[in-house]
């Protein structure tokens, strides 16, 4: 499986959450311009493999869709030194 396919598989899993694509389309409209319905359609086409995402969009979607990291309490944080 190539990298794009594995990325798309992960994105599809993240998109299964209720309202995820709508939320992403709002963020992309604010960040890259356009309107949310246009982005929703574009994202659906990518998820359905009708279109291929550009590198810029891949990077933005990774930032937008990545699960939030849980922060460790301060005394449990690893030292940088």
**Whole-structure pTM over 0.95, yes or no?**
no
H or E segment and range at residue 22: helix 20-32
33-80 pLDDT tens trace: 999 999 999 999 999 999 999 999 999 999 999 877 766 566 666 666
Domain map of the chain by residue range?
A: 17-66
For the cut 70, the answer to whether the pLDDT of residue 32 exceeds it is yes
The answer to whether the beta carbons of residues 24 and 65 sit under 8 Å apart is yes
* 12 SS3 class: helix
Distance CA 3, CA 53 (A): 13
């Amino acid at each position: 499986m190539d990298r794009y396919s594995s990325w798309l598989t992960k994105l599809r899993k993240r998109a299964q959450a209720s309202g995820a694509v709508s939320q992403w389309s709002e963020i992309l409209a604010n960040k890259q311009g356009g309107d949310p319905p246009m982005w929703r359609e574009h994202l659906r086409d990518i998820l359905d493999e009708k279109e291929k995402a550009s590198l810029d969009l891949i990077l933005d979607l990774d930032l937008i869709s990545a699960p939030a990291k849980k922060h460790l309490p301060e005394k449990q944080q690893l030292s940088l030194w």
